[in-house]
Every structure is written in C-alpha cells, then in structure tokens.
Structure 1
Amino acid sequence: MGARYEERASRFGGAVLWAWSGARDPARPVLPDGCMDLLWVDGRLLVAGPDTHAFTPGAALAGDCAGIRFAPGTAPALLGVPAHELRDRRVALDALWPGAEVRGLTERIGAADDPAAALEGIALHRAARTGPPDPLAAVVAAQLRQGRSVAATARAVGLGARQLHRRSLAAFGYGPKTLARVLRLQRALALVRAGTPYAEAARAAGCADQAHLAREMRDLAGTTLGGYLTATGYEGRGANSETAEPSGSRTTA
C-alpha cells in the first residue's frame, strides 16, 4: 500500500489534525504556509516552526506520523515561545516544555489509538492554562490573506509599520511582507488545484502576472509550479486526497 495523508478539522480554533502513513517522498517539498505544527514522529514530540522556504523531509523517514497544524499566529501563546525563535526549525518539545511533562505526554500519545486526537487534547489542555493568542494576529492574517497591502493592514489594526513588524515576528515568525507572500502563494496554489488556469490564478491571488507567480514559486518553494503540482499528485482536477501532501504536514528530516 502506498503513502496516505488524511486531515480533519480540530476542536482547537482554526487548527487541522493530520496523519501520514507510509514512506515520505523527498521530491515532495513542504511549502511555507504561515502555520506551526505540534508533531508526533518516530515516537517523539516535536514542534515545526514557521517556514520561509520549502522544507524537504528526509528520504529515509517512513512509517506513521501525525500532527496538529495551528493557524497562523495561534501557536506561540500555547507553546510559550515567540514564533521567530522557531523559524525554519524543527525542535524537540522538551526543549520548550519541562522534560518530565513531555515524557508523560510522550507515553500518553504512544499508547493512543489516534495520535492526532491525542495531540489535540494536549493543545486544548495547554490552552486552558495559558493566555490567548495575540488578538491582532488573526486580524492581520485575515487582512493579508484578502490581498490587503502591509500599509493598509497596519492602518486597519491601528499600528505603525515598526509595531506591526514586531508583533508579526512574535506571532507569525516573520514580518507582514513575508507573511503576505506566503499566503498569496497558498491562494494561487488553491486556485490552480481547483482548476483555474495558471495566469488567471496568479492575478486572482494578487500577483502581477504569471511570471510573478513563477518567481514566487522559485523563491519560496525552490521549484516550478508545474513541477510542484506533478510531484504532489495533481492531475488537472485537484489534488488526490489519498496521495497528495498539503503544505502543512511538516515532519522532520
């Protein structure tokens, strides 16, 4: 049986639970999406920070893994660390939380029939003991996702450019300009998977033209749009949910 990826909505606001079984294909890069994940991989608990470029899992990684993918800006308060400290990193959870606590959680998930649901339970329990996410993070992400400029977003949330940049580093791991590029690329990919022609998808997502989208793919994904879609199983009618890996299933090398 080949590799299989599944995801479902989480009770944790805005999050997604996912599970992967089978060998990982190193030709399938994991693209930046502004998210952070709590992962269960090879019997370990890890955190995947926000990526600024494509991440390629190790070719030798095989077997089952699971995660909870947090919406942009929601994980730092839960984890107790600013997002920029985890940018482009995969970090063992016991580097962030007390070792004894992590050992207990590791045992619990190891015995669980549904590791993704167990990760969700950890997140919900932790959220009840920590403060809420930065309330401006969701607004900033929504503004940028709609294609608003950084300047317009700053005005909408009542912050100056420097304040917005500082708050964005803590919440998202990078400044609003980078977050806008990441979200724009994800919008374009979603449109293409839905059957929109490349040029039309580029314009609808906020790129100047198809060439602009191609440059963004090179810069953020390290590949061409066609090459990425082929590697992830796209066949012109949308991704195959049983074989294609969405951008957020971010395991470790």
Structure 2
Amino acid sequence: MTFLWHGVAPPLTRYVNFLYAAQGAMPYSRDGIFPTPAADLKFNFGEPWRVSKRLESPGAASCNQSWCLGLWNQRHFVEWPENTDFIGVSFKPGGAHAFLGVPLSELRNRVVPLEALWGDAAEIRDRLYDAATPERRFALLEDLLLARLADNSGAARLVEHVAGQIVGRHGTIKISDLCDEVGITHKHLITLFDRMVGCTPKQLARLCRFGHTLRNIDLSNRIRWTSVAHDSDYFDQAHFTRDFQAFAGLSPSAYLRKRLAVFAESPDHATIPWVLPAGQICTSSD
C-alpha cells in the first residue's frame, strides 16, 4: 500500500487540511475508523468500498465512483476492495460548506454519492482518472476545487474563525468566550455551526480534544492515563474515559492494547491513530 499526502496552496489552505491518495492492497480487509473533525471527498478509480456504522450491517453503503463523508461523531467501518486506488480531500471544520452548497448537518454520520451534490461528479472523476499519476491528479483536483469555491460570506468567515480557534486549542477553549469575542449569541453560533460544520461548537471541541489525545499517545513509552487526561484538559479521568468510550467504543486501555497489537503486525498502519482493524475492535476481550 502506498499513501501520498499533498499540501494545498492558498486560498485552499483556509478550507482544506490536505489532499491524499492511496494505491495498492490495504494491510487489513476491514478497518474501524474513529471520528475526526473533518469532512471528506473521495474519488475512486478501483473496485467499490463498503461503509457501515456497524461491522455486520445490512445497511452498508456501497461506494463506487465518488462520494462525500460528512462529519462523524461515532466510529464506522470500511470494507476495502482487494486493491485500492483513490484520491481524497480532507476538509477543515466548516471548509466543506464552501464547496458543497448544502447544510453539513444533512451529511452528519452519512456517506453520500457525490453525484447527489455535484451533477458533474462523474465527469470530474473521469478527468482525475485520466490524469494518470497522483501528482497530476493532485494538481487537477486543486484546480477543480478552486472552480467550486463559492461561500465567502460574513457568516462563513465567522464560523471559520471560531472553528479555527477551537481546532488550534485542541477543543480546550470555552465556547462562551468565543461567543463574546465575535459578538454572537451561543444559540446563533450553534445554528451556523449546524449548517456549515455539521455539529455544534461543543461537539467540535470534543472531537478535537479526542483527536488530539489519539495523536499524542506515544506507543514507545508507558502511558499514564491520568497524565493524558490532564494534558488534554479533561475535568478528571472519569470525564476523559467517558468521552473516549463514546467516540471509540473502547476504553482507553483497550484501545492502547489493540493499537500495540497492530503495531507489532503492521507498524505503518499503527501510525494512523484513528484507524484500527475491525477484528481488533470487535473482539470480546475488551
């Protein structure tokens, strides 16, 4: 499996975390994906994927050519094809709204065919496929995103600022302080976030804090969960454990044990902290 990451140039840096591409066989046939504060677009050039909220789910979505994943606040599962070949866009919180033109609340915890949002999605996917190399695909995808960039309203800029503050402080900033700073009521901010981010400001803060915790677990050192909870500004360890369990479906100690097991089998796979093989997540040894 080959993964490539590509940083974008301004003005896309305001909206996009990065572009990425993958080719080859995944180490595991099914992965569990923990929630992160990002919406995604994916353009697929290989066989279909299957995405579901539960490992064994009759309602699994079959993802063929291109699709959009909204913001998720729960883990979900991906069944990979034998060989993958795709390119994707990871949006910053609130960034996707400027390109999709629909309320992000409608995409929450969902996988939506991109054709339902962009009428020319199939044509875009074909153009990306014809670009042949990941580097050419990245350059073309940047151009295509720039052509779609639409929302630069005052409300969008306000949400961008507030979301950026939440992300920059890893979710540890008080939402009431941000409301006072920008001169907006909490209720109005929730309405804007629901439309442009896909969650409330508080929910985004929780996702950012959870993601920060995952990224800062050092597999090479002994983990002291009390210190982890303190460093991530949780009220206490019980608060930390509840939040972790809500997002991961695992206790912190079970997550660490399973991630260490993956590290022993596939070190590269274990470097992505929000992904674990589905078999590790769904064992009875939690």
Give the shorter-chain TM-score range: 0.7 to 0.9
Deviations, residues 53-100 of structure 1 (Å, cap 9, x unaligned): 1121126564233311011111111111121111111111111111xx
Deviations, residues 143-180 of structure 1 (Å, cap 9, x unaligned): 32311112112112211011000111112101111111
Measured after TM superposition, the shift of residue 116 of structure 1 is: 7.4
Which residue of 44, 67, 72 maps to 2:65? 44
The letter of the residue matching 2:231 is: A
Which residue of 180, 194, 217 maps to 1:192? 217
Does the Cα contact within 8 Å between 2:262 and 2:270 map onto a contact in 1?
no
Does the Cα contact within 8 Å between 2:65 and 2:122 map onto a contact in 1?
no
TM-score relative to the length of structure 1: 0.81
Which residue of 142, 149, 156 maps to 1:130? 149
The letter of the residue matching 2:173 is: R
Which residue of 136, 141, 161 maps to 1:139? 161
Q: Does 1:68 align with 2:89?
A: yes
Q: Relative contact order, CA 8 A, sep 6+: which one is greater? A: 1
Q: For residue 64 of structure 1, give the secondary structure of its aligned residue in structure 2.
A: strand
Partner residue, 1:34: 37
Quickly say closer, same or farther: Cα 1:61–1:198, change in 2 above 3 A. Answer: farther
Q: Does 1:80 align with 2:101?
A: yes
| Structure 1, gaps ≥5 residues long | 249-253
Measured after TM superposition, the shift of residue 228 of structure 1 is: 3.4
Q: For residue 122 of structure 2, give the secondary structure of its aligned residue in structure 1.
A: helix
Which residue of 145, 162, 179 maps to 1:154? 179
The letter of the residue matching 2:165 is: Q
Q: For residue 57 of structure 1, give the secondary structure of its aligned residue in structure 2.
A: strand
Partner residue, 1:56: 77
Does the Cα contact within 8 Å between 1:67 and 1:116 map onto a contact in 2?
no
Does the Cα contact within 8 Å between 2:30 and 2:78 map onto a contact in 1?
no
- Looking at structure 2, the residues matched to 211 and 114 of structure 1 have their Cα atoms a distance apart, in angstroms, of 48
Quickly say closer, same or farther: Cα 1:93–1:235, change in 2 above 3 A. Answer: closer
Higher percent of residues as strand: 2
Over alpha carbons, which structure has the higher Rg?
A: 2
The letter of the residue matching 1:10 is: V
Partner residue, 1:206: 233
